[in-house]
Amino acid sequence: MGPLAGIKVVELVGLAPAPFAATVLADYGADVIRVDRVKPGFDVPVFPRDPLSRSRRWIGVDTKSPTGRDIVLRLVDEADVLIEGYRPGVTERLGLGPDDCLERNPRLVYGRVTGWGQDGPLAQSAGHDINYIGLSGALEPIGRAGERPVPPLNLLADFGGGGMLLAMGVLAALVERSVSGRGQVIDASMVDGSALLTAGMHGLRNAGLFQRGRGSNMLDGGAPFYDTYETSDGKYMAVGAIEERFWAALTKVLEIDPASVADRLDPARWSAVREVLAAVIRTRTRDEWTARAEGTDACLTPVLDPSEAPKHPHNAARGSFVSLDGDMQPAPAPRFSRSALPEPTAPVEPRSSTYDVLTELGYVPEDIDRMRTEGVVA
């Protein structure tokens, strides 16, 4: 059933962070209903078979109409959680803001995720992941020395600092509600969240271990023992042999004379050590190095592309990926010892659950047909 079985979530349709948070909650067993527009908008694209749409029902409602707003509020009456990812003030103008919803359901956990937060000088500004991590200090350290910063996809702000922390905030608020009996509003800012993800880097900086500029430190590709190397077939291996015992295992797997890579912790030697590692790793294919490193503590692993990762024996053994209607995607995580997670279900057609959900809310077929004719629902 999952640890969130019995929890009802209303998701107001949006882009990556809010849908990701809703997906995490759905993966844990929550009953998620996505409220979409009657007609899809260009600013909220829908991708067929999108994992961020799995395991929930999907309805279409014109929330700008009084009748549509009433439908959403009737969903709120029975919900434990509402999630939205609009700019500050949007849901208030729709009559679906925190005050509107908590007045009807004081136990509601109202989760909001934005780039800049609900207040502050930039709160009403447009932006995307790259802008938020630029401001939080998370982007500048990522990249090769002497080159410009490299965006790490949209993983840090949209998914890690935004959607994941929103889901975590929702869970924390649900725990607190079990004591107080009251809901509350969660303000998840992607700037705040991506800044939090850099806590470890700030710790290294405070200790004087991350002071050499982008791409020149131990964990950003500057050190030869923590980097990627090309193989003879044009693929890559990841080296993460930081500790001495792992470094010793690596040199053994690579059949490198330890004397040729002496003083590898001295930054002045990093270039020379890197040349030795690169030359050796380039002599074999990725699969050959993977086989040689198997069963050792060399911290030498293949760099797999997204289509290869599900096929790796370790990922396959753990079921780290699942196939939904033939589409491979990451499985729910983490695992629970007692609350077995439900099998995720493939995304339904957009707005295809409208009739069933409205029926559950007490609307009769005549009302539903009339609202469909009037363009209130789809």
The catalytic residue positions are 128, 158
How many angstroms from the chain centroid is the CA of residue 202? 22
Q: Tell me the C-alpha distance between 133 and 269, whole Å.
A: 32
348 near 57, Cβ under 8 Å? yes
Maximum alpha-carbon separation in the chain = 84
Q: Tell me the C-alpha distance between 358 and 347, whole Å.
A: 19
Nearest residue to 236 via CA among 299, 145, 309, 301: 301
Q: What is the dihedral of CA 48, 54, 60, 64, to 10 degrees?
A: -100
Residue 323 DSSP label: E
351 near 36, Cβ under 8 Å? yes
235 near 286, Cβ under 8 Å? yes
> Beta partners for 240?
226
Nearest residue to 54 via CA among 377, 321, 307, 340: 321
DSSP annotation string for 179-226: HH---EEEEEEHHHHHHHHTHHHHHHHHTTSS-S-TT-STTTT-STTE
Q: Is 320 exposed, middle or buried (0-12, 13-18, 19+ CB in 10 A)?
A: middle
AA identity, residue 292: R
Neighbours of 273 (CB within 10 A): 20
Q: Tell me the C-alpha distance between 339 and 121, whole Å.
A: 43
